[in-house]
Structure 1
């Protein structure tokens, strides 16, 4: 990798593959769905887009094909305010795509990304001046599953050395991307070199056989901050031997895809702002709620003042609030004080929530 500039140009640089997504027009198997809506999706670009739309400077680093899908990806990501000048074009390889399949009991994802342009990322093709151009470098375990070259790149990026930015890493274990001979403990090896690590309790069980948050921390003592996402229950953040748990918000889930990326974006946004650990977790939950209540990978983040108001709610108000589809749309509507509504009342489109009471001991 080449030399780095003297200082960060962006709040966050996010490195990883993004793909063109095809969302079915109606539930059912791929054999039966008549049409699809085109969108974009990719763990790292999702984080970059959410951060840019939340007022941060963000860069996306990747490779796309020299095709129309590559054009679409670059334009769509740039339209959210993300810098795309470090995205390379590869005329010999295609842009990856994937299809969503909405079945009765779950949403499945079918990838068509083997041999994609992004799979050619390596220590030779990614410039360190780009990778180190943010205050935070955000990575994902998905990149490590794409090719041996990508694995070499990930190992180089998580190596601790002077001048390296804060490295954030979402494990993002995707069984469909790992071959029978691959060892998912590589994801844990990469995590040990990072400063902030996100991992789902369920994926740690699937990948490593670890049963709970405490066992995950025992296996990964190196990261300064380890965030274990526990689904609809909440999330636990470890700093040293101290564990901080914050329950998730209740939401009317439209689709779960993209919620983990949104959580990471909310947590990193609050980290960049220097907020307390519990508030960082709450911001993660707020951003995840924006993604959970829309059908695509990218939800519309709430305005910063709106998010801060939700984060400032006391324990009772936080626990009784329920967010529905369109809740981040504040173009018009009534101003209501969260915490004064009956338990379980849902906030939907056009309703602005502001903090009623402040939790003084948080």
Structure 2
């Protein structure tokens, strides 16, 4: 994976004039890099400047460090979080979210409706209760007052005082919509008294998609898993991706065997260790749609795995045996072990998709945590 990225970056930004074929190679390299990120084409940058929902920014900062490297792999149940803004542009308590960007192979884990509760209206009437009942319905037919036109999804008491976000589980409805997009008739929210009695006007209001700032607009947050899984290891000891100290070969006597390189020659070879490998999304041309990070350090492994392999070279048993066979020339065509990543960690991208929804996606096996002889 990391070797592929290194090659792609080299092709993506030539350092000197190249023949016409280099343009095709660059396009092919960027196409392959998009495949690493699970995309066919790069999403177009938003037509106008858009501020991503603060919830998505906060979630990214909770899950990842500044380089996008995962702090804790157990925070997210799946590997994708999508946010959708309401498309009704209405003051009424009815909401519609277009989910066409959700792939058919994504497993729906959890769906949440986020509504921003506004400060209560000033009224001269005394308040008999300090709470009201908020109910969320899945709309099944256009005329919501008709029998069987809606299905109950969630209901709870919400305080009348104060303001802030209220979150309601609507997973059942979203699963229906992703299985049959034509069934998506949206959601209906009602506000009633604690005893279920109607309130006119309701003392509690939520921000609408039409008259309020983007940071308070109704939002659907969807947690999914697209089935991609790598071999990333737990990274409790790897929160900041610190550079790995150079590995020095173990001080062991080198046998005087014919065909072996001299000790002086081995000393001149750099031992297997981790080196920086910068991936800059602006240089690649992706900064218009990627929100965070601006780039990251993937690291790569380089160096020799000379005989004899000490424990500080982190060799596998197979690599140790291969090293011995190579040193003793016991079999033709057996090379010395290779310096490769033996720990790989995931990164997270926060970006705008084709529909200008904000997506947080986690990608496994993107950063070399340490190197060893394999």
Q: Normalising by the residue count of structure 2, what TM-score does the alignment of the two structures yield?
A: 0.20
After TM superposition, the score normalised by the length of structure 1 is 0.20
Which structure has the greater CA radius of gyration? 2
Task: Compare the two structures and name the one with the higher helix fraction.
Answer: 1
Compare relative contact order (CA 8 Å, sep 6+) and give the higher one, 1 or 2. Answer: 2
